[in-house]
Amino acid sequence: QVQLVESGGGSVQAGGSLRLACTASRRTINSACVSWFRQAPGKGREGIAAIYTGGRGSIYYIDSVKGRFTISEDNAENTVYLQMNSLKPEDTAMYYCAADVACFGWRDGIWVEHEYKYWGQGTQVTVST
């Protein structure tokens, strides 16, 4: 079983930055797909970014975060990061990371709803005007 723990959420003003971390309990995350999702109150889950870990290179973003968010990995720390810059009020949501054997649902610029096997508990991001 893989446990994922998110951290780094908080409250910032529009234009600010946060870096979220998703740390796994096992090294299996180093050869998996780790995705970041968010869910705002009253809205459905939205895929934001994904990465094939272990240096395999493939990275995905939804169009609305391209150029503002960056996903990266630190294999030694079993951690995947989401650097979020130029934050907007509409980025306010609970952010989750998830892992599975492949980046299910991802296409260039979009994410199609698909289940992932392992999930973290989430970290809240609030962006004020």
Q: Which pLDDT tens digit goes with each residue over 71-80?
A: 999 988 999 9
- Residue 69 identity: F
Higher pLDDT among residues 52 and 55, named by residue: 52
Tokens encoding 75: 């294999």
Q: Report the pLDDT averaged over residues 68-91.
A: 95
What is 69-110 written as a DSSP string?
A: EEEEEEGGGTEEEEEE-S--GGG-EEEEEEEESS-TTEETBE
Q: Edge to edge, what strands does the sheet with 69-74 contain?
A: 4-7, 18-24, 79-84, 69-74
Higher pLDDT among residues 26 and 35, named by residue: 35
pLDDT at 55: 79
With bands split at pLDDT 50, 70 and 90, how would you rate the model's confidence at 108?
Answer: confident
Q: Report the pLDDT averaged over residues 123-127.
A: 98
pLDDT at 85: 98
Nearest to 126 by CA among 4, 6, 5, 14: 14
CB contact at 8 A, 8 and 125: no
- Residue 111 identity: W
For residue 5, give the DSSP letter: E
Q: Report the pLDDT averaged over residues 40-68.
A: 92
